Amino acid sequence: MPLDPQCIFCRIVSGQAVAHKVYRDPLVTAFMDIHPVTKGHLLVVPNSHFPTLASLDPQYAAQMMAAARRLSGALRAAPLSVEGVNLHLADGVAAGQSVFHCHLHVIPRYAGDKFGFQRPIGAPDGDPMEIEQIASMLRPAVADGVA
């Protein structure tokens, strides 16, 4: 998939836009997020323009995860006192995606940093019947490779 000259992440990948790059291989590039949620927040992007997770070539998806693994090791080894790492991928507006070039956040965690992935306050416990019903809905699409 070609690069999109209107896309900021494509411009970073091609070198037309400046970024604090920390890793690059034939499939992915990683750089510092300029709006960090915590100190050391990184983004991993494919070196081609895939707007959504569903559009992402599986080879690129695998390499994004491999790069995130390397980056999390580097974060823990750096003198930043990183105590944990979260990976986050926002796919779609409702999920909080704001740049439509699929990207994986690598977010270092520190005790008391107040960032977190939490169930909404008051969210009801899952209904086992409904959970199985949804799983049944998903299985055929997952088996077909649609999802």
Q: Where do contacts with Zn ion occur on this chain (CB under 5 A)?
A: 4, 7, 9-10, 49, 101
The residue (of 53 and 80) whose beta carbon lies closer to Zn ion is: 53
Count Cα atoms within 13 angstroms, Cβ side, for 28: 27
The residue (of 23 and 110) whose beta carbon lies closer to Zn ion is: 23
Which long-range contacts link 9-14 to residues 24+ away (Cβ below 8 Å)?
9/43, 9/45, 9/49, 9/99, 9/101, 9/103, 10/49, 10/101, 12/45, 13/45, 13/47
SS3 34: coil
The tokens describing 101, both together, are 């070039």
Residue 103 known to be catalytic: yes
CB of 86 to Zn ion, least distance (A): 23
CB of 49 to Zn ion, least distance (A): 4
CB of 133 to Zn ion, least distance (A): 37
Catalytic residue (choose from 41, 49, 101, 103): 103
How many whole angstroms separate alpha carbon 13 and alpha carbon 19? 9
Count Cα atoms within 13 angstroms, Cβ side, for 6: 3
CB of 57 to Zn ion, least distance (A): 13
The residue (of 63 and 72) whose beta carbon lies closer to Zn ion is: 63
Known catalytic residues? 103
